[in-house]
Structure 1
């Protein structure tokens, strides 16, 4: 059935076919870094350049470990046959974000930085995620990010002849909404660090819910490693979540 599908999108080079996904992964990193430095211009950063580099190193190392760990746990049945090659090729942005978060927190403890450092990364991460997801979408069913079968008008043939939820398109649309949300609250008087916390909670909430329309393999209690990663983030940020909920109720009572 793949012969009749446009997926996956590929290009030919020296007689070999390659996925565009790898190009978009590289573009996502380059564009995300450029957006970060553009937004950083003119800002008085309370964190020194040296400490900011250590924090970025912690984020990268944490993301490297987390992305692989969560990804291999997505297929628990394959753990008995896990190889270094499979471990290297396995990765998920959910694990990358969670690992990066804890990598940063560990590094900050070591170097003695007590200032929240994530707000400036929110928009660059959103932009990088959007660009990267174009590559994931171009892979069709060759990338394990597709959805379950659906009779909805949104269903698409991603390469196997079945109408499936185009999960990556859903996520790209959601990322655009988040981008405009953070542009909207750009000048809002929020506590330093709250923007990053809000991004993490909102993104992981989306991934938790969207996972139910993916053909996932349960890790524990009928939930996948993506579900459990989201739960870890919700627990980690529970004080922030309760504070946001309380502030919403207070505003509603005041307007009521």
Structure 2
């Protein structure tokens, strides 16, 4: 069922592909991943840092496996009571979140690097392709409205939009797109200074995005697990603590070396 909403837009936006009706969210998610990967391989060809094939493939496998597991695991643990009340494989497979994908993708990469004995950072090259993929994916989230759990709570602010249920809600997908564009600009400025150690851009990206998600999720429907925090926020806080510790212990000595 469709509702007439913001400036005549119907939610959810769907597309007819090979005779099947496809929601905007999975379609844009797939497009985002494809374009993001093409951009990554383009940057990789231009990069002066060349990783051996066995290290590259190990890191790629670790990141993919970790991201797939994490996105599903954290996506389903957003409402653990619902998960255990009715065990539905199809529903379990459809639940995912970028927060879980990023967090567990990181774990997968670190495990893969330990297995092959690689100690250098490998994350900077993926940052901008990842941001690009996320922006495209969030366009799909916005176009899906309230028909997947990527919408905001009702609001009386000037930003409120009718996303398909006749309530004015925070368009959190648009907020995230704006944040990611601004983060892209800031990270590009940092990158051009060329004085920070390898991996710093990725660390700042992760710290910034997970901090943003802790705040953003307060205006999204969520099940409070600990205090007034949802599952995603708890995961975000764990990642934030990890990166504060990591940056604090690696940046000073590296920065002094670049300054000397």
Q: With structure 2 as the length reference, what TM-score do the two structures score?
A: 0.89
Aligned CA distance change for structure 1 residues 152 and 241 (closer, same or farther; 3 Å) = farther
> Which residue in 2 is equivalent to 1:130?
135
The 4+ residue runs of structure 1 with deviation greater than 3 A are 12-16, 240-247
Correspondence for 2:81: 77
Q: Distance in 1 between matches of 2:109 and 2:163?
A: 37
Cα distance in 2, alignment partners of residues 48 and 132 from structure 1: 31
Q: Quick check: 25-34 or 3-12, which moved more?
A: 3-12
**Structure 1 stretch 10-19 or stretch 112-121: which is displaced more?**
10-19
Equivalent runs, 1:33-72 vs 2, <5 Å: 33-72=37-76
Asked whether the equivalents of residues 3 and 165 of structure 2 are also in contact (C-alpha less than 8 Å), the reply is no
1:8 corresponds to which of 8, 12, 29:
12
**What residue in structure 2 maps to residue 198 of structure 1?**
204
Equivalent pair of 1:8/1:159 in contact (CA under 8 Å): yes
Q: 2-side partners of 1:241 and 1:91: how far apart?
A: 28
* 2:231 equivalent to 1:225: yes
**Is 1:139 the equivalent of 2:144?**
yes
- 212, 217, 226: which one pairs with 1:211? 217
1:76 positional shift:
2.2
Kept in 1, the 8 Å contact 2:36–2:132? The answer is yes
1:237 and 2:243 correspond: yes
TM score, norm. by length of structure 1: 0.90
| 1:182 alignment partner in structure 2 | 187
Aligned residue in 1 for 2:258: none
Q: Verify the 8 A CA contact 1:47 1:115 in the aligned structure 2.
A: no
Deviation at 1:229, TM superposition (A): 0.9
Whether contact under 8 Å (1:24, 1:134) holds in the other structure is yes
Alpha-carbon deviations, 1:75-118, whole Å to 9, x = none?
12212123222221110000000010000001111111111110
Note the aligned Cα RMSD (angstroms): 2.0
Count the aligned residue pairs. Answer: 247
Q: Can you give the 5+ residue segments of structure 1 that lack an aligned partner in the other structure?
A: 248-256
Residues 147-179 of structure 1, C-alpha deviation per residue, up to 9 Å, x if partnerless? 111111100000000000000000000010011
Q: Which runs of 5+ in 2 are unaligned?
A: 254-260
In structure 1, the residue matched to 2:256 is: none
For the Cα contact (< 8 Å) 1:149–1:163, is it kept in 2?
yes
Deviations 1:21-73 (A, max 9, x none): 22211111111011111212232225212211110110000001100111111
